[in-house]
Amino acid sequence: MKEYIKRLKKGTLKMHALESELPAEEAVSVRRAYIEEETGQKFNKAGKYSIEVERAALKNCENMIGAIQIPLGVAGKLKVNGEYARDEYYIPLATTEGALVASINRGCKAITKAGGADVRIQRDGMTRAPVFAAKNVIHAADTIRWIEENKGTLKSIAEQTTSHGKMTDITCFLTGTNVYVRIEFFTGDAMGMNMVTIASEKIAEKIAADTGVVLVALSGNMCTDKKPAAINLIMGRGKTVSAGVFLTDDMIRDIFKTDAKTLMEVNNRKNLVGSARAGALGFNAHAANVIAAMFLACGQDPAHVVEGSNTITTVDQMEGGVYVAVTLPSLQVGTVGGGTGLETQRECLELLGCAGGGEPSGANSRKLAEIIASAVLAGELSLIGALGAGHLARAHKQLGR
């Protein structure tokens, strides 16, 4: 180890090259020891972990020195009445926020007692949007016309790059001399960002070659990836999924200690009017809380919590109670690839019965999306109920620590 640390100090060996000379486990240990010597900071806890280093260091994290551990809790059981998820589930939640799991658990109790969450996926498509520079507005418009007339050719080119992905749509936008081409793909059980990027590159090359526009960037930010954007709220990205449940007046009183009128008023004044006044893109109580905790537990890309926070929560008064629903326009999830292969995250996916590829392709990722949407509904119910009953501060005082 000392020899490798000396080489790192001299600069004759780069940190990222350690895995090319050593087994992954040793490379991580050497790198950690080097950082400890350089900074004086010990990583006694971060250096102890149970995940398989070979995969993590070579596929998930460059310059790995250890692992950060986040407490993992469960809520539920939560009954889900979806097209892909039809069972009662314990919900895995990785979080450091006291009171969160307890809150979601209360929502799960209410939903399950009510007979389960109704869940449906409206659309399923991952996007990438290259941006091209045209000579002038006429050239830009002609390029868009060419794209629309040649969608079949572009679809064929894209699908030669993958055995799993299918191009489902292309939508073009013109802004001055800028041509944005938003390409949408069905990506099976993968979240699919790498898949669509590779396919979009081939499409972009064909467009540039046949129209004369110049490809400026493979992503022109109209995808829109990992940034708040109205286009995702309106057109969707990943899974667009809704979950709802009818709660009787008795259930609202017994479980949430409030009433239907109060639930509606809290949702209207907080989630709808308050969010609109703030210029928010999401109209919900705390959907990102639930999505983030499930993403961390299940190996999803945590940056996609941004798109998931576009959730809209609605409360409709009906005879004898209320129907509460959440709509997630841009929930991006997968059950293969990325962090889903890490052992701890895979165990959480196995808990939900959706690890790996599904049959037919896409069934497992859609199942996961339905479960996450139902858990978001549970979280919204609980927080709206707590606000309505005036219990929020008390709960955080008791459980937030």
Q: Please give the Cα distance from 233 to 329 (Å, whole number).
A: 5
Q: Please give the Cα distance from 78 to 386 (Å, whole number).
A: 19
Does residue 224 belong to any structural domain of this protein?
no
User: Residue 192: which pLDDT band, with cuts at 50, 70 and 90?
Assistant: very high
Exposed e or buried b per residue across 325-340, where buried means at least 16 C-beta atoms within 10 angstroms of its C-beta:
bbbbbbbbbbbbbbbb
Handedness of CA 46, 49, 55, 59 (dihedral sign): negative
The predicted pLDDT at position 397 comes to: 52
- Please give the residue that has the higher pLDDT: either 393 or 275: 275
Does residue 222 belong to any structural domain of this protein?
no
The predicted pLDDT at position 399 comes to: 56
For residue 219, pLDDT over 60 is answered with yes
What stretch of H or E contains 134? none
Q: Please give the Cα distance from 211 to 208 (Å, whole number).
A: 6
Pair 178, 40 in one domain:
no
Strands (E) across 305-401 are located at 312-318, 321-331
Does residue 230 belong to any structural domain of this protein?
no
Pair 308, 165 in one domain:
no
Pair 108, 241 in one domain:
yes
What is the CATH classification number for the domain harbouring 240?
3.90.770.10
- % residues pLDDT > 90 (the chain): 95
The predicted pLDDT at position 394 comes to: 56
Does residue 223 belong to any structural domain of this protein?
no
Does residue 292 belong to any structural domain of this protein?
yes
What is the CATH classification number for the domain harbouring 190?
3.30.70.420
Tell me the pLDDT tens digit for each residue of 120-152: 999 999 999 999 999 999 999 999 999 999 999
Tell me the pLDDT tens digit for each residue of 196-207: 999 999 999 999
The predicted pLDDT at position 164 comes to: 83
**Average pLDDT, rounded, for the chain:** 95
Tell me the pLDDT tens digit for each residue of 246-274: 999 999 999 999 999 999 999 999 999 99
Pair 201, 247 in one domain:
no
For residue 393, pLDDT over 60 is answered with no
Contact 195, 164 (CB under 8 A): yes
Does residue 148 belong to any structural domain of this protein?
yes
Tell me the pLDDT tens digit for each residue of 111-122: 999 999 999 999
Pair 88, 206 in one domain:
no
Name the residue range of residue 249's domain.
Answer: 72-124+236-399
Pair 267, 145 in one domain:
no
Taking CB atoms within 8 Å and a gap of at least 24, the contacts of 393-398 are: 395/99, 395/102, 395/103, 396/98, 396/99, 398/99
Tell me the pLDDT tens digit for each residue of 34-61: 999 999 999 999 999 999 998 999 999 9
The predicted pLDDT at position 391 comes to: 64
Q: What is the domain count for the chain?
A: 3
Pair 302, 326 in one domain:
yes
Pair 246, 119 in one domain:
yes
Pair 156, 79 in one domain:
no
Does residue 225 belong to any structural domain of this protein?
no
- % residues pLDDT > 70 (the chain): 97
For residue 366, pLDDT over 80 is answered with yes
The predicted pLDDT at position 49 comes to: 92
Tell me the pLDDT tens digit for each residue of 162-171: 888 899 999 9
> What residues are labeled active site?
97, 301, 396
For residue 29, pLDDT over 60 is answered with yes
Pair 262, 388 in one domain:
yes
Count CB atoms within 10 A of the CB of residue 174: 14
Q: Please give the Cα distance from 134 to 179 (Å, whole number).
A: 7
User: Residue 3: which pLDDT band, with cuts at 50, 70 and 90?
Assistant: very high
The label of the residue with tokens 């080489």 reads 7
Pair 269, 394 in one domain:
yes
Does residue 320 belong to any structural domain of this protein?
yes
Report pTM: 0.94
Q: Please give the Cα distance from 128 to 71 (Å, whole number).
A: 34
Domain boundary among 60, 81, 104: 60
Q: Please give the Cα distance from 212 to 340 (Å, whole number).
A: 41
Tell me the pLDDT tens digit for each residue of 270-300: 999 999 999 999 999 999 999 999 999 999 9
Pair 212, 269 in one domain:
no
